[in-house]
Amino acid sequence: MGIEAKKIKGSGGDVESHDRTQSWFYSDVVKEHFFKPQNFLDHDPLPKEFNAMGKVGSPACGDELRVWLYINPKTERIESFKWKTFGCGSAIAATSITSVMVTENGGMTLEDARNLKPQAIMERLGGLPTRKFHCSVLSDKALRAAINDYFRQSAQFDKIEAEASRLIDPVARVTDKDIEEAVLEGAVTLEAVQEKTKVGVANPSILPGVEELIRFYKEKYFG
């Protein structure tokens, strides 16, 4: 699989590279999508233009991404994928290429879209620096959040899917279920959830993911 890091020559970034022969910090595909981003939302969304919205990350963690979808209610294929991203070069490129992947060939089905893996996005980008992978590729998560939003808006509540249950913080032994309970108990900010669970206190690198989960459960239970 072509998911090796590809970067870096010259100064500027200190991202580790396994390929020191390229002339730019990222692959050519990343460069193309970074300088000529596709499908970003360049206006305020019009009424009825979209029927789903998803958001992940926060500017505090360095990346925030919002996507707006138009899902054809008859075919349940994604006809339009628009986005805005606050983030580094690879985050912008990853979102841009996701918008292309999701809408090409008549648009993805919701099932295929839910199964879109970050690895596939990275592969299509021609690789990303290893340490950029987790923080940059958020578009699959935003996409899943938007699909849940579509089901919520179209009152198909049984089709809303939480992210799979998993250990979030191996240091504090906190799972997503713990976070769900904390939110249900009324802790809806990162600080409040940390007070209850100690999640990420000794492990701040996981906080972006924790914030996503808090937002997910908050929206799930409190709208």
Partner 1 sequence: MKSRQIYLDHAAATPLDPRAKKAMEPFLDDQYGNPSSFHRTGKIVKDALEVARDKAALVVGAIGDEIIFTSGGTESDNLAILGFARANKEHGRHIITVKTEHPAVLQAAKHLEVKEGFEVTYLDVDEDGLVGVEDVLAALRPETILVSVMLANNEIGTIAPVAEIGTAIKKHRSKTSSNFPVLHTDACQAVGSLEVNVQKLGVDLMTVNSSKIYGPKGVGALYVKRGIKLEPLQFGGHQERGWRPGTENVAGIIGFVKALEIAEAERLGYAEKLISLRDYFIGSILTSIPKTRLNGHKDLRLPNNVNISFLDIEGEALLLYLDAAGIEASSGSACTSASLDPSHVILALGLPFEVAHGSIRFSLGRSTTKKDIDFVLAKLPEVVTKLRQLSPVNVDQKYF
Of 62 and 152, which CB lies nearer to partner 1 in the complex structure? 62
d(CA 14, CA 198): 31
Of 170 and 186, which CB lies nearer to partner 1 in the complex structure? 170
Of 62 and 218, which CB lies nearer to partner 1 in the complex structure? 62
Query: Who's near 184: CB < 8 A, 6+ residues apart?
Result: 217, 221
Judged by the rule CB under 8 A, the positions of this chain that interact with partner 1 are: 11-16, 25, 34-35, 37, 40, 42, 55, 59-66, 84-89, 91-92, 131-132, 135, 205
Would you please indicate which residues are annotated as catalytic (active-site) residues?
A: 61, 135
Least separation in angstroms between residue 16's CB and partner 1 is 8
Of 60 and 100, which CB lies nearer to partner 1 in the complex structure? 60
